[in-house]
């Protein structure tokens, strides 16, 4: 796919195969229907600041219609009553179809939030693999779970029922995969859902809907309403919602947790992070350089789990910083539609301003800018986009704002330590606990350090999630987990049926 960078912004968009641009509908009861709301929101290309699409800003009537559709489908429809293997077959067909939609999905994603196509080009395949993984868990739901009572007087049949109507509220940074990681287990469990995509990324979710409807999912099982954060609040509190799953900021997550706590409503929250990469003294810098961008600056730094705090031993500080600076400087920034681009724009003008403010704060508090820190020099039309120059900050101390707060941009901070115990303490000194990495040539020693990091996930010499393993945060990074059988259990409710032990 060649970049149309030489074209004017409008021509640049018109040159692409985009099936969804300006739409006036929401997805309810198996069909795209005109929204009741007349209010609209534009979809902005962050690379050029040009509007290229628009969607309805749903109102309460739109939300009620979507939730009522999901409620009917759960209470009276076939989906919760189908065998898990039948539901799994739909998920597998949807996975196949989603892979066929990879190119327009990738382009839509990139034009919504600026993710380089080198990243968004894998979104369909990754989402398909999530569908297939959860489809493979169907046997867990099909076998009877019979447990003898300790006294031997009776036994209990434990039923795993779908929890009900689920509100799935997605973020803007990975608008496909962070929907599917909620949607796939919910659907396999037999739940019905209402999806509220992020305001910045309202169009790419339509490819998921297309794949599922073409794969035979019954009407009303999946519903989508676009809208504001206020609409999300209404969805969380809706009387006919039984479960909430949210990925996003810790601030919004706290609000959702309060609401769900008041309602005694189950909730899964995957929130922010401020993860550390501990560089042990025996680290092979070639290994560090090979994974640095993916593990610490993925998606232009707009990834929750990435390790943006690099903890470096005093004995190797200068050579490690040099390796980091050279690696980041060599990664191209520019048109996210160019397959060679590694760093795209921030997803919005507000996010760009936030990242720039963090860099300014770091300077004011005494950090040294080893790389970047200025506005990137990009040609038209990208000079109008929401770009932030990839930045490496050194002489960072633990009390600085950039060492404590999630930046969500292409900024790395380097902190020094003397002993490994000090590095562990630094890694555990934040309010977050989502990711982390330990670099070291002695993997046994690195594993021992990883065991001491108080975080939901830690990688050794790299970081990557695993569909089969739980992913979740501690402290301000969230509640509950996604992925793995544990992620499926979040969409189930349990019933114990006690009976006399049948005679042989």
Res. 95: pLDDT tops 50: yes
Written in H, E and C, the secondary structure of 159-194 is EEEECCEEEEECCCCCCCHHHHHHHHHHHHHCCEEE
- The per-residue pLDDT for 8 is 67
The residue count of the chain comes to: 504
**What amino acid positions are annotated as catalytic residues?**
270, 304
Q: Are 301 and 333 a contacting pair, CB within 8 Å?
A: no
For 284-312, how does the pLDDT look when each residue is reduced to its tens digit (9 = 90+)?
999 999 999 999 999 999 999 999 999 99
Q: Where in the chain is the domain with CATH 3.40.309.10?
A: 275-467
Is the backbone peptide bond immediately before 381 cis, with ω within 30 degrees of 0?
A: yes
Confidence of residue 5 (pLDDT cuts 50, 70, 90): low
Instruction: Name the CATH topology of 34-271+479-493.
Output: Aldehyde Dehydrogenase; Chain A, domain 1 (3.40.605)
359-390 pLDDT, tens digit per residue, is 999 999 999 999 999 889 999 999 999 999 99
Under 8 Å CB-to-CB from 466, ≥6 apart: which residues?
483, 484
The pLDDT value recorded for residue 6 is 54
Statement: residue 190 has pLDDT above 70: yes
pLDDT band of residue 4 (cuts 50, 70, 90) is low
Is the predicted pLDDT of residue 1 greater than 50, yes or no? no
Q: What is the pLDDT of residue 2?
A: 45
Q: What was the pLDDT predicted at 163?
A: 98
Region 109-113: mean pLDDT is: 97
The helix or strand, by DSSP H or E, that contains position 480, with its residue range, turns out to be none
Which segments of the chain belong to CATH 3.40.605.10? 34-271+479-493
Q: How far apart are CA 118 and CA 157, in angstroms?
A: 49
How much is the pLDDT for 14? 86
* pTM score, whole prediction: 0.94
Q: 228 φ, ψ to 5°?
A: -90, 180
Query: According to CATH, what is the number of the domain 275-467?
Result: 3.40.309.10
Rounded-to-integer distance, Cα 114 and Cα 43, Å = 12
CB-based burial of residue 12 (10 Å sphere; 0-12 exposed, 13-18 middle, 19+ buried)? buried
Mean pLDDT over residues 415-444, rounded?
Answer: 96
- What average pLDDT does the chain have? 95
Residue with structure tokens 């019933």? 495
Stretch among 12-21, 82-91, 165-174, 405-414 having the lowest mean pLDDT: 12-21
């Amino acid at each position: 796919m060649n970049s149309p960078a030489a074209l004017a912004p409008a021509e640049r968009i018109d040159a692409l195969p985009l099936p969804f641009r300006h739409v006036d509908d929401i997805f309810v009861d198996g069909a795209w229907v005109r929204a009741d709301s007349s209010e609209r929101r534009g979809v902005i290309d962050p690379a050029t600041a040009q509007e290229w699409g628009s969607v309805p800003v749903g109102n309460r009537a739109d939300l009620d219609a979507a939730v009522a559709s999901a409620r009917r489908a759960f209470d009276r429809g076939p989906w919760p009553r189908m065998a898990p293997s039948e539901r799994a077959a739909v998920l597998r067909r949807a996975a196949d179809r989603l892979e066929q939609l990879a190119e327009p999905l990738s382009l839509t994603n990139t034009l919504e939030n600026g993710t380089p196509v080198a990243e968004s080009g894998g979104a369909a395949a990754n989402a398909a693999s999530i569908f297939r993984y959860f489809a493979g868990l169907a046997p867990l739901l099909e076998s009877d779970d019979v447990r003898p009572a300790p006294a031997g007087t009776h036994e209990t049949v434990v039923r795993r029922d779908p929890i009900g109507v689920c509100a799935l509220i997605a973020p803007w940074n990975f608008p496909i995969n962070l929907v599917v990681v909620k949607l796939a287990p919910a659907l396999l469990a037999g739940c019905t859902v209402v999806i509220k995509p992020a305001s910045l990324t309202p169009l790419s979710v339509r490819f998921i809907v297309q794949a599922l409807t073409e794969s035979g999912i019954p009407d009303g099982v999946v519903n989508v309403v676009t809208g504001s954060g206020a609409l999300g609040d209404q969805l969380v509190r809706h009387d006919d919602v039984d479960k909430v799953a949210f990925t996003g900021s810790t601030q919004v997550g706290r609000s959702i947790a309060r609401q769900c706590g008041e309602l005694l409503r189950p909730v899964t929250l995957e929130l922010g992070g401020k993860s550390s990469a501990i560089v042990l003294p025996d680290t092979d810098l070639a290994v560090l350089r090979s994974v640095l961008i993916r593990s610490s600056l993925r998606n232009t730094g707009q990834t929750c789990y990435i390790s943006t705090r690099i903890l470096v031993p005093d004995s190797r500080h200068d050579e490690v910083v040099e390796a980091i600076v050279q690696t980041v400087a060599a990664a191209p920034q520019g048109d996210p539609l160019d397959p060679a681009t590694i760093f795209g724009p921030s997803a919005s003008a507000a996010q760009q301003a936030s990242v720039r403010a963090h860099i300014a704060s770091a300077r004011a508090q005494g950090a040294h800018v080893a790389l970047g820190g200025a506005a990137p020099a990009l040609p038209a039309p990208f000079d109008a986009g929401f770009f932030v120059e990839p930045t490496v900050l050194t002489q960072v101390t633990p009390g600085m704002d950039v060492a404590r707060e999630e930046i969500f941009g292409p900024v790395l901070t380097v902190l020094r330590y003397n002993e490994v115990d000090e590095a562990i303490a630094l890694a555990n000194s934040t309010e977050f606990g989502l990711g982390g990495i330990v670099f070291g040539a002695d993997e046994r020693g690195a594993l021992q350090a990883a065991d001491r990091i108080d975080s939901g996930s830690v990688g050794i010499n790299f970081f990557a999630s695993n569909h089969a393993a739980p992913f979740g945060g501690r402290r301000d990074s969230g509640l509950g987990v996604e992925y793995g059988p544990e992620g499926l259990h979040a969409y189930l409710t349990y019933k114990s049926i006690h009976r006399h032990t049948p005679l042989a």
